[in-house]
Amino acid sequence: MRLRNKIAVVTGGASGIGEATVVDMINEGARVVIADMDEQLGEALALKLNERQEGCAIFQPVDVSDETQVETLFETTVSRLGTVDAVFNNAGIGGMAAAESYPLEDWQRIIDINLTGVFLVAKHALGHMKRQGSGSLINCASILGNVGQSMTAAYSAAKGGVVNLTRTLALEMAPHGVRVNTVSPAYIDTPLLRDLDEATLKALIALHPIGRLGRSEEVAKAVSFLASDDASFITGANLLVDGGFTAGKS
């Protein structure tokens, strides 16, 4: 087990890629704090996982754009579990609009959660990791932090910021035994995408040279690897989990 006896925190952990990562980290031997705004989903997931393996999961409500809540998340984790070894900084929201008509409040909300929220989680997680002299932080960016796409000004700007923030944090933390990396997923097969009409779904799939959408579990495996000692010489990296999306046109 790659994460045996490790303590991990997953933001946005109650659903989607976050939920898949919580499950994979537990399967790899970790105890996981599920941090999410959705208390109903988070509590239900923790209950389900603890019925299978007692004590493997704890739910902690958090709005990552609220620094007080983020600080409490990590103080509570360390107080209850003794340490924080790995963090998947995953909470985020989407939004689409043409730049010239993008409402400022919508832009600000995406930046607040997808970029400032990532910074706040990193700030408070890395403080604990630096003091203990070890740890792995994995930030969730996106293919749209690496290439542009129309109608995604706020989201792409935030995710691009996450990619370069990661490099900066990696440089700051390397002397202290702490690693910081990014995963950048492409389009992942979720119930939301399955609601698309057949033509739109086929067009989306065609953007991926590998010939299909990604699965949440595939992103989770990449995160667990970066969290583990198997990735001990990897920091400042941006791992594209994208089925070839960003490689170019064939």
State the virtual CA torsion across 136, 139, 142, 147 in degrees, nearest 10: -90
pLDDT greater than 80 at residue 123: yes
Q: Which of 155, 187, 225, 245 is catalytic?
A: 155
pLDDT value of residue 249: 77
Q: Is 102 a catalytic residue?
A: no
Pick from 45, 151, 39, 26: nearest CA to 86: 26
Distance CA 190, CA 241 (A): 15
pLDDT value of residue 191: 72
pLDDT greater than 90 at residue 234: yes
pLDDT value of residue 26: 98
The mean pLDDT of the chain is 96
Instruction: Extract the tokens encoding 75.
Output: 């103080």
pTM of the model: 0.97
pLDDT digits (tens, 9 = 90+) for 50-89: 999 999 999 999 999 999 999 999 999 999 999 999 999 9
pLDDT value of residue 190: 83
Parse the chain into domains and list their residue ranges.
7-244
Q: CATH for 7-244?
A: 3.40.50.720
pLDDT greater than 80 at residue 192: no
CB 141 within 8 A of CB 163: yes
Side by side, the strands of the sheet bearing 135-140 are 57-61, 31-36, 7-11, 86-89, 135-140, 178-185, 238-241
Which residue, chain included where needed, has tokens 């299978």? 52
